[in-house]
Amino acid sequence: MKPKVSLIIPAYNVEKYIGECLEAAVTQTLEDIEIIILNDGSTDKTEMIINKYAERDQRIVAVSHKNMGLSATRNKGAAMASGEYLYFYDSDDFIDPHAMEILYEAASTNDLSIVFGNKVVFYENEYTYEAVQARNTGMSKESVKLLDPVAFIADLAVYDVVVWRYLYRKDFWKQLMFGFAEGQVYEDSEFTPKCVLSADCIGVVDYPIYYYRKRSQAFTMTGMNAKKLNSLVVNADRLAEFCYSWEGSEERKKYVNREIGNFVIQAAANFHLYKTMLEIDLSGWLKKRSKNLLDSPKTNHRIVGWGLSNAMGLTIFSLRLRYYFVYAHDRKMMRNRINCVEV
């Protein structure tokens, strides 16, 4: 018999968090699950902790391999999965005790390829799985709202690119003919719009299925670098290729262009830092991709697109100032927020 859900958990040097992550997996109220935990070349005690959980619960499939990166590890886990549905779960976070039961019931009852759930963002030890588990004992299941993919992706108050907010039907996943872009960062932002707009309907559950941990060192890892800038270019080009070769509706293509625009604006804001470290002519690429921004339904994308086509230097300068202002503000807010958390 197929398990109802396969949880796919890449893990790399997360000895501090992996126990809580796996505890949340093995204590799900939906018991008919498969837990695929992939140790991606960890050098700390992550593998030892994983093995202890695997000895305790036969539903855990523990795999260790040389470091492949997040995307390749997720793709490997999806290929191994035998469940009816797939759920991608990050190893430094945890999920609600009812998460898989709620998502699976919404998907199976409504014959959905994708179901989307809510999230809670917390800082370091502000939340614990034990506290959430105790609070949610006997929690009633929530109803599901059905949305057309365009209506879903158009609503920026709802739509999110992170894959851990989605449950995917395995048969649907196999038909997509694309996975996570390997060797790149921002892989969710490239994958998710293609996936969402390939579905017939999106189920939305207003229930906090996922607890996303903001780590104290996160603000030191959020800056731009050459690899990230290169990924912006690669992912934008992959999205554009998908958009122009796809037989989907023109309305859906507009929202692919919006996501391409997100990459282009970030690349333009960081243009001066790493342009000489890329193999492409970044200036020419930005001008070429201005058309994607002009075809986007997002107003500020259209303004930036016009600027890149007609006043590139001024547009890049203004985006650079905005990027640094927002980045510096976010770093300060995160430091202040972490300092206020009672551990």
Q: Which tens digit of pLDDT belongs to each residue from 182-226?
A: 988 889 999 999 999 999 999 999 999 999 998 765 444 456 677
Could you identify the residue written with the tokens 């990027």?
Answer: 323
Q: How far apart are CA 61 and CA 314, in angstroms?
A: 54
The whole-number average pLDDT for the span 168-186 is 90
Report whether pLDDT(277) > 70: no
Structural domains of the chain in order of their starting residue, each with its CATH number: 5-215 (3.90.550.10), 226-331 (no CATH)
Q: How far apart are CA 212 and CA 333, in angstroms?
A: 17
The whole-number average pLDDT for the span 5-11 is 98
The band of 311, judged by pLDDT with boundaries at 50, 70 and 90, is very high
pLDDT score, position 141: 65
* Nearest of 195, 179, 177 to residue 114 by alpha carbon: 195
Strands (E), 85-194: 85-88, 94-95, 114-123, 144-147, 166-169
pLDDT score, position 229: 85
DSSP symbols for 212-272? EEE-TTGGGS-S--HHHHHHHHHHHHHHHHHHHH--S-HHHHHHHHHHHHHHHHHHHHTHH
Report whether pLDDT(144) > 80: yes
pLDDT score, position 167: 98
pLDDT score, position 329: 58
pLDDT score, position 178: 85
pLDDT score, position 275: 66
Q: Alpha carbon of 98 to those of 85, 135, 154, 184, 202: distances in Å?
A: 16, 12, 28, 32, 20
pLDDT score, position 223: 64
* Nearest of 187, 170, 192, 7 to residue 116 by alpha carbon: 192
Radius of gyration, CA atoms only, the chain: 21
Positive or negative torsion for Cα 129, 134, 138, 139: negative
pLDDT in tens, 148-168: 999 999 999 999 999 999 999
pLDDT score, position 184: 85
Report whether pLDDT(341) > 80: no
Q: How far apart are CA 196 and CA 110, in angstroms?
A: 17
Report whether pLDDT(92) > 70: yes
The whole-number average pLDDT for the span 3-15 is 97
pLDDT score, position 123: 86
Q: Residue 126 gets which letter from DSSP? A: G
pLDDT in tens, 223-270: 667 788 888 999 999 999 988 877 778 888 999 999 999 999 988 888
As given in the structure block, the two tokens for residue 339 are 């300092």
Q: Which range among 34-48, 130-144, 310-324 has the greatest average pLDDT? A: 34-48
* Nearest of 185, 188, 210, 222 to residue 333 by alpha carbon: 222
Report whether pLDDT(339) > 70: no
